[in-house]
Structure 1
């Protein structure tokens, strides 16, 4: 019996113990992965505020790679545009304060007409009161010079200049931050694409290795533990390939978020 099993590639005692050990190891890894998955789903429920179970069955992103377009400059990022709007508002407020120190010239005019039912000789002619007979006009000009207004305006102008300087510094800091984030996103995306191309070779090599090990196992040259190990390497290579594709998509999404334009990412699903 032992001779027959050995000829078929099985080794009594050794194969069963090795298989049990590898099975226990794989089961432990599965339990750890299930724990991580459950924790991530709980965190997702907390973030979106919905207490429901999710079934992650969408594999659209695993069947293709993103098509890269020319990204917008970080100067068009919404955060920079909001800070630029704040700078413009502070400049406008400062301009208004400077205008308060200047003289103001006011022009006004008035005019009215009246009618009377009594003429110059005191004769009563009621019907004439319905028509305009006298016209009066008035024009006025007023020049106002705020001699002491500058005493009260000067501290406000200084305060406004400080607010403008603070807004300008915030803009420069955000611009520098986005520039470095953009460089980081480029590095991460380039690395993810490179890794995705390398894992394809890893998967092909693991597949070739598994087939070769199976042939040697059937010939009775190696134990079943070697087959399990080769199969584990093949499965790991497949998992690495899928993870590499996910990393490419995650890096592409990160790049789109840094540039402040998610349309480049969403367009991938419309093709």
Structure 2
């Protein structure tokens, strides 16, 4: 849930200043130039802007159209055709294979005068209704499969929204925490600069030893480095937050600081389960979807019963009259061949059953059962992960809450230590080295104080991510 810049903060502060106790994120370091963006508005903005959410919404829409398509398959096929052709009519006795409809069909009877290149106009029109009104459950199984697919798409869409809400909320919290850290580093830099100015002036006048000036200059350089590093991390995290919101262009976000980090959230009831986690819902629905495919595969073994109705008319330039030698009379004009001369109709029921499908679907069903097993085990794996996240979130919340209670005590003691050390140094009873040591203690205590509150919020967010109940977090903003 944290990003690399947040990890960099932890490494930096441990090695250089020991001022952070948890991962942080970006802060505003300049005067705001845009309206304040509260967390709820940020979540709404991300939901409408972020590409992955839009993609899942499109997948959901696609699944809905797939369901409509499966339902439309029950409608009868109504086919109409009309054609006019100029063609010869030579034919031989015997048979031929149509090559899946690519061969030209026979066009006339056997003629006594042999073959000829003479061509006549012919016409043909037909209307056909083919309705597979009974399919032994194949149609219903296909619809159920499409419904299960749409359920999976809907679950994935809701899960994408939920997971992105968690990412945005965490980035928002880290942004505020880094903002507070930058303020602490700026305050620390101001304290060191004030001491530097006084100490250098005293050293130049001979009232303080020169080593004091050197020590203070070193402390000032360290404080400057801490401040610059905090600014860098803040700027990087601000860019990351804008990315999660789907925003482009320059400028910094101005965030609302009236609730988060200013107060602790309400007490959290950590006994709720995690069965409603959207990630689990996706995996559970995927198992159901794969199981419906087994039924659809088995239904394909069965035949279909069709109701057929058709009517057609045909015209030809070859007359029914014969010449003296017994051949048909050819009329090559367009008007002689196009008008219909014969009409027919057909009404009936047809059954088609590809028996060899039994062998194919048997292996396909076995393969699908293995796929169902894969989906079930992935669900079990995800359930273990989420249960672990749930337990860790409960532990983190309790620990973060205890730290938040102790942080003000640490801050008060550090402030007192700094005030006492400064008073002793101003009175000439202590060295500058003793005073500079209190700078780091006070700086760490100031950062720890704001970090402690932010970590309680982040612990609740992690708990919400594990349980799948985002309201556990968002209701505390009211």
TM over 0.5: yes
On the 8 A contact 2:390/2:463 being kept in 1, the answer is: yes
Q: Secondary structure at the match of 1:253?
A: helix
Q: Secondary structure at the match of 1:74?
A: coil
* CA drift at 1:172: 1.0
1:59-98 pair list within 5 angstroms: 59=257, 60-67=259-266, 68-70=268-270, 72-98=272-298
On the 8 A contact 1:72/1:261 being kept in 2, the answer is: no
Instruction: Return 5+ residue gaps in structure 1 as ranges.
Output: 106-143
TM-score when normalising by structure 1: 0.70
Distance 1:148 1:196, change over 3 A: same
Structure scoring higher RCO (CA < 8 A, sep ≥ 6) equals 1
On the 8 A contact 1:45/1:51 being kept in 2, the answer is: no
Q: Which residue of 1 aligns with 2:401?
A: 193
- Distance (Å, rounded) in 1 between the aligned partners of 2:223 and 2:353: 89
* CA drift at 1:77: 1.0
Q: Which residue of 2 aligns with 1:162?
A: 370
* CA drift at 1:98: 4.6
- Distance (Å, rounded) in 2 between the aligned partners of 1:165 and 1:45: 41
Distance 1:95 1:224, change over 3 A: same
On the 8 A contact 2:464/2:472 being kept in 1, the answer is: yes
Distance 1:221 1:158, change over 3 A: same
- Distance (Å, rounded) in 2 between the aligned partners of 1:152 and 1:19: 84
* 2:228 aligns with one of 31, 35, 50: 31
Q: Which residue of 2 aligns with 1:113?
A: none
Deviation readout 1:40-85 (Å, 9 max, x if unpaired): 2233344434223225553321111122134642221112112222
Structure with the higher fraction of residues in helix conformation: 1
Q: Secondary structure at the match of 2:275?
A: helix
* 1:213 aligns with one of 408, 421, 437: 421
On the 8 A contact 2:276/2:467 being kept in 1, the answer is: yes
Distance 1:221 1:80, change over 3 A: same
On the 8 A contact 2:460/2:472 being kept in 1, the answer is: no
Q: Which residue of 2 aligns with 1:236?
A: 444
* CA drift at 1:33: 1.8
Q: Which residue of 2 aligns with 1:136?
A: none
Q: Across the two proteins, how many residue pairs are aligned to each other?
A: 227
Tell me which moved more, 246-255 or 225-234: 225-234
- Distance (Å, rounded) in 1 between the aligned partners of 2:231 and 2:240: 14
Deviation readout 1:88-107 (Å, 9 max, x if unpaired): 223333234455668999xx
Q: Which residue of 1 aligns with 2:359?
A: 151
Does 1:42 find its partner at 2:239?
Answer: yes
* CA drift at 1:231: 3.7
* CA drift at 1:259: 1.8
Deviation readout 1:100-156 (Å, 9 max, x if unpaired): 668999xxxxxxxxxxxxxxxxxxxxxxxxxxxxxxxxxxxxxx9998764343223
* CA drift at 1:221: 0.5
- Distance (Å, rounded) in 1 between the aligned partners of 2:432 and 2:260: 36
* CA drift at 1:12: 4.5
* Pairwise CA RMSD: 3.3
Structure with the higher fraction of residues in strand conformation: 2
Distance 1:151 1:64, change over 3 A: same
Instruction: Return 5+ residue gaps in structure 2 as ranges.
Output: 1-201, 306-351
Distance 1:87 1:98, change over 3 A: same
On the 8 A contact 2:304/2:353 being kept in 1, the answer is: yes
- Distance (Å, rounded) in 1 between the aligned partners of 2:367 and 2:210: 86
Does 1:52 find its partner at 2:52?
Answer: no
- Distance (Å, rounded) in 2 between the aligned partners of 1:51 and 1:57: 17
